[in-house]
Amino acid sequence: MVVSAAFAFRVGGFRKFYADITTASPECARYLHKIGIAHWARAHFPEERYNLMTSNAAEQLNKALRGGRKSPIMELLKFVQDMMTRWFNARRNKSLRNRGSCTPEVDKVLTANLAACKGSRINSISSWSAQIVGPFGEKHQVMLKEKRCSCRVFDKLKIPCGHAMMAADRLGISYSSLLVNTLKPSIWVDTYEELITPPEDAVDYDMPPTVGEKNVMPPNTKRPPGRPKEIRIPSTGCKGQKGSAEQVLTMLGCRTQQDQLQKPD
């Protein structure tokens, strides 16, 4: 229910799921309300977030850096540079190989969006707008010039929904022309245009004399007793702590995915 409410595109859909949450667990609804609806519900988020529902890239980076975390700081920086060189190279090659009018990921979304509108028909059409009637009579208004649709998928994701694609087909407009610039293949190529080179041996560099004159002292901190921790210390909102996603699921009476894996019925 929480996931459905968070991912709902329309405010009406969000209200329905939120009402279900309130019925199932008033405590959970109060907790979610206290966080601030706009922080977790797509329908109420006032800015552009495309399909990004989290800003927690640090979690992925933490996992990727696990191999180099035990190393001294200079070795860790070399490890990160090596990793970025590999990642950027793979992405650069992939973007340069692309010959389609949109990126492969956008193409997948377009295919799914069109399939979801199978059986729909265009009811009426004016120069840049159309009404699409679904197989069960649901109606959606598409405004191609404004890149909007009443289903709100086009507005939020910036990728044409199935309704917009049907209208575009009727008007002879290419799907790729309806994408925002940031999702176009040319921007994808430009993103990885700059090279990240692998680290070179320090002896091959001419060090500016000003660097040698500097007296750099180690940080004035006290080293805590014991071996340095290899595992990240969980922050607020992480597993098992107050305010976590696990806590929301517990309030709703749901078992966590981990529970389901560990204790099969």
Neighbours of 107 (CB within 10 A): 16
Sign of CA dihedral 242, 248, 254, 255: negative
Please identify, using beta-carbon distances, which residue of 95 and 150 lies nearer to Zn ion: 150
Q: Residues 142, 158: contact at Cβ < 8 Å?
A: no
E runs forming strands in 134-199: 139-143, 148-149
The reply to whether 8 sits near Zn ion by the rule CB under 5 A is no
Q: Residues touching Zn ion: how many (CB under 5 A)?
A: 5
- Least distance (Å) between residue 175 CB and Zn ion: 13
- Least distance (Å) between residue 126 CB and Zn ion: 17
The reply to whether 114 sits near Zn ion by the rule CB under 5 A is no
Residue nearest to Zn ion (CB): 149
- Which structure tokens are listed for 138? 């649901």
Please identify, using beta-carbon distances, which residue of 118 and 263 lies nearer to Zn ion: 118
Q: Which stretch binds Zn ion (CB under 5 A): 29-37, 133-141, 184-192, 218-226?
A: 133-141
Q: Determine the 3-state secondary structure of 51 from DSSP.
A: coil
- Least distance (Å) between residue 163 CB and Zn ion: 3
Q: How far apart are CA 10 and CA 14, in angstroms?
A: 6
User: Which positions from 140 to 179 touch Zn ion by CB under 5 A, shown as an x/- string?
Assistant: x--------x-x---------x-x----------------
Q: How far apart are CA 107 and CA 103, in angstroms?
A: 6
Please identify, using beta-carbon distances, which residue of 6 and 167 lies nearer to Zn ion: 167
- Least distance (Å) between residue 49 CB and Zn ion: 18
Q: Residues 114, 102: contact at Cβ < 8 Å?
A: no
The reply to whether 102 sits near Zn ion by the rule CB under 5 A is no
Residue 255: CA count within 13 A, CB half-sphere: 9
- Least distance (Å) between residue 162 CB and Zn ion: 6
The reply to whether 92 sits near Zn ion by the rule CB under 5 A is no
Q: Residues 149, 9: contact at Cβ < 8 Å?
A: no
Q: Which residues bind Zn ion (CB under 5 A)?
A: 140, 149, 151, 161, 163
